[in-house]
Amino acid sequence: MDKIKINGGRQLNGKIFISGAKNAALPLICASLLTDETVTLTNMPMLSDIKAMNALLEQLGTQIDVFDDFVDGHETKTYSYRTKEATSLVAPYDYVRKMRASYYVLGPLLARYGHVEVSLPGGCAIGARPMDIHLSALEQMGAKIEIKNGYIVADIQGRLQGANIIFHTASVGATCNIMMAATLAEGITKIENAAKEPEIGDLAELLIAMGAKISGIGTSNLVIEGVKKLHGAAHKVIADRIEAGSYAVAAAMTHGRIELINAQADTLASPIKILRDCGVKVEEKENSLVVDATQAHLVGQDVMTDYYPGFPTDLQAQFMALMMIAEGASMVTETIWENRFMHVPELLRMGANINVHGHASAIVRGVKKLSAAPVMATDLRASFALVLAGLVAEGETTVNRVYHLDRGYEHLEEKLKAVGADIRRVKEDDEE
């Protein structure tokens, strides 16, 4: 398995291009299943999760073409998806096991074909990840759902029916899934307590370009008026706010200055506020965000995750890494996932002072220095927290299980090297 080696202690300065958002791209890809025409997505990130979703769609009968492209002078990929006729309506266990977001095929395939079978994703490192909200909403829209041999088997005679649905939790996945399903339903679907994450707005934008009728975007109340057919469209994926927030922390922790090209400040209000409260200068430009910690004396701040526009759970581990070296004590509280402090034992091995209380909160007391160690994490964002710790630790840190990082950080080593980090990937074959 590949490893990443980092020699800490370098100040990071320069520019980093923020890629298209993984968590927007995944549902956007699945929205293409709603039409027999071509859906083209530009500014797509090259990530293993995108490859996994593409493999799943190819297995369903989607024709996928990829083109090299440029966004603001940076190399990116454009993908086109065409599902003239699905050749399979089954998302097998082997695909869903590798990437939980495979459940995004559920809503589109059921709405278009009246039948779908999706393996239940099961739990994962950060929590149980149930699907009750997705399934109950589809049932309210008339679907018959059974769990058979570990698979969700969903059927509907004719079209799904519009319904008034209240989510017990503002689930991102369920909001995307039900919004996609409702675009082809008969009548009006209202979703109350919908999630408001920017990735949902991005999906709604594509669906509207495909002919869907959606209002209430960016609010907790979505209204979708079903149409009989959707058509092809082209769409540019929004910038990845989690990637931007992650590199913002890299600038802060190394007392550097990084301009995050393409980052959208309006999607990062809560993390930006905490960075500023910590003593970091953050300048919002039209098409970038400049994070300047060259003069900063970092002061610890409390961080509590919440649904958007609250502080994102996907930046919790990275901000905990920041608080590790900030002055004073900070309370980090996780409210979205029940098991999202697995980075803590690894950070402790690098000299951090963190006390976890139950599953939900941790006290982080700032330390003056960290020391390098071989570390590994069990999820994507936790792995980035270890990279951050490696960037400031004394000595050479080895981050194992790099496949987690490859799921969500495009060109990680190249981007960090370009701003001055001493970082390299050691391939399995050239183990030292």
Interface positions with ligand UD1 (CB under 6 A) = 23, 26, 101, 127, 129-134, 169, 171-174, 195, 313-314, 336-337
DSSP string for residues in 340-370 = --THHHHHHTTT-EEEEETTTEEEEE--S--
State the nearest-atom distance from the C-beta of 199 to ligand UD1, in Å: 6
- Residues 30, 124, 176, 278: which is the catalytic one? 124
Q: Are 245 and 268 in contact (CB under 8 A)?
A: yes
State the nearest-atom distance from the C-beta of 272 to ligand UD1, in Å: 18
State the nearest-atom distance from the C-beta of 323 to ligand UD1, in Å: 19
State the nearest-atom distance from the C-beta of 426 to ligand UD1, in Å: 28
State the nearest-atom distance from the C-beta of 117 to ligand UD1, in Å: 18
Q: Are 89 and 112 in contact (CB under 8 A)?
A: no
Distance CA 400, CA 398 (A): 6
* DSSP annotation of 125: T
Distance CA 133, CA 245 (A): 29
Distance CA 396, CA 52 (A): 32
Nearer to ligand UD1, 189 or 397 (CB): 189
Residues whose CB falls within 8 Å of the CB of residue 181, separated by 6 or more in sequence, listed in order = 106, 107, 108, 110, 111, 137, 138, 141, 160
Distance CA 36, CA 392 (A): 51
Q: Are 347 and 385 in contact (CB under 8 A)?
A: yes
Bridge partners (DSSP) of residue 187 are none
CA-to-CA dists, residue 316 to 209, 305, 342, 343, angstroms: 34, 7, 11, 10
Is 124 one of the annotated active-site residues of the chain?
yes
Nearer to ligand UD1, 293 or 386 (CB): 386
Distance CA 327, CA 298 (A): 6
Distance CA 162, CA 378 (A): 40
Nearer to ligand UD1, 240 or 259 (CB): 240
Nearer to ligand UD1, 241 or 257 (CB): 241
> How many CB atoms lie under 10 A from the CB of residue 395?
14
Nearer to ligand UD1, 226 or 312 (CB): 312
Q: Are 366 and 342 in contact (CB under 8 A)?
A: no
State the nearest-atom distance from the C-beta of 14 to ligand UD1, in Å: 28
Distance CA 229, CA 227 (A): 6
Nearer to ligand UD1, 38 or 378 (CB): 378
> How many CB atoms lie under 10 A from the CB of residue 168?
10
Q: Are 257 and 290 in contact (CB under 8 A)?
A: yes
State the nearest-atom distance from the C-beta of 428 to ligand UD1, in Å: 27
- Report the residue number whose CB is nearest to ligand UD1: 173
Nearer to ligand UD1, 124 or 153 (CB): 124
Residues in the chain: 432
Amino acid, res. 128: A
Distance CA 184, CA 110 (A): 10
User: So which residues are the catalytic ones?
Assistant: 124
